[in-house]
Amino acid sequence: MTGRLAGRTALVIGASRGIGKGTALRFIEEGANVVLADWDADTGQASADELGAKFIHADISRYQDAEAAVALAVSSFGRLDIIVQNAGIYPWQLIEDTSSDDWDKVMAVNLRGSFHAAKAALTPMRAEGYGRILFTSSITGPYVTSPGHGHYSATKAGINGFIRSAALEFSGYGITVNGVEPGNILTEGIQEQRGDAHIASMVAAIPLGRLGSVRDVANAFLFLASDEASYITGTTIVVDGGQLLPEGHDFRIVPTGV
C-alpha cells in the first residue's frame, strides 16, 4: 500500500458490510483513520472490530444521527477529511404496489440521508478548508432501470443532481463533491435478495463477463478521496464492467485466430 490517505480521517456511512465495509477497509489500508456508521448496530460493531475502526450506530435519515457520526470522527481524530454516504435501501416494489409510506422510506434513507451527510460534514470541512464528500449513486436511475425500482431509481438520479449542486456551493471552501455509480456488484445484499438465475442474467449483460467486486468500487472511492482527484468535482465515476455500452443483447465478439 502507498499511504495515499495517511493522516486523513474518513467517515463511512452504511459501512457494516458490502461496498461501505470494503471502502472503509481500502481507506484503512491507505493509512486513513476511519469511523464506521450504520443502522445495524450488531453487524456494524462487528465490522468495526474486525477492521480496527471506531463505530457509531446511526440512522442517516435523521439529521441528529448524521451530526453525531461527524462529531465522533472529529472528537476522535481532530478533523474530518472524507465522508462517504453509502447507506441505501432498495426494496423490490412495483409502482402500483408502492404506498406513499414505502416511497417516503426509500427517499428518507437514500436521498434525504445524502443531504444530511453533506450538511453535517460541511461545518468541520469548511473550518479546515479541505474536504472530500462522496456518495454511492448507481447506474440504476441516471442511465437504466428495471421493474420494481421506481423509488430507488428516483433517489439515485436525485443524488446525482445533488452532487452537482453541492459541488458548486462548496467549491469555495476547498471541498470537492463526487460520486461513484456502481453497476451490478456482488455484495451480500445481491446474494441474499437475487437468485442464481437473476445473477447469471446480469453477468450475461456485462461485457467484461462478471459482476463487479466490492473492491472495484472501493478503488474508485479511494481515487476520489485522494489528492490525485483534487481537481475533480461535481461528477461521478461509472464502475459497471461496460454494462452501459451495448446497444442490444448480441454484443459479444468471439476472436478468430487466437
Among all residues, which ones are annotated catalytic?
152
Q: d(Cα 63, Cα 222) in Å, to the nearest integer?
A: 26
CB 97: neighbour CB atoms within 10 A?
9
The burial class, CB within 10 Å (0-12 / 13-18 / 19+), for 108 is: middle
Residue corresponding to grid cell 470522527: 73
Smallest CA-to-CA distance from 34 within 14, 8, 67 is with: 8
Q: Which three cell numbers stand for residue 206?
A: 456485462
Calculated CA dihedral for residues 137, 139, 142, 146, nearest 10 degrees: -120
Tell me how far CA of residue 179 lies from CA of 103, 243, 247, in angstroms. Answer: 23, 18, 25
Give the Cα separation of 158 and 51 in Å (integer): 32
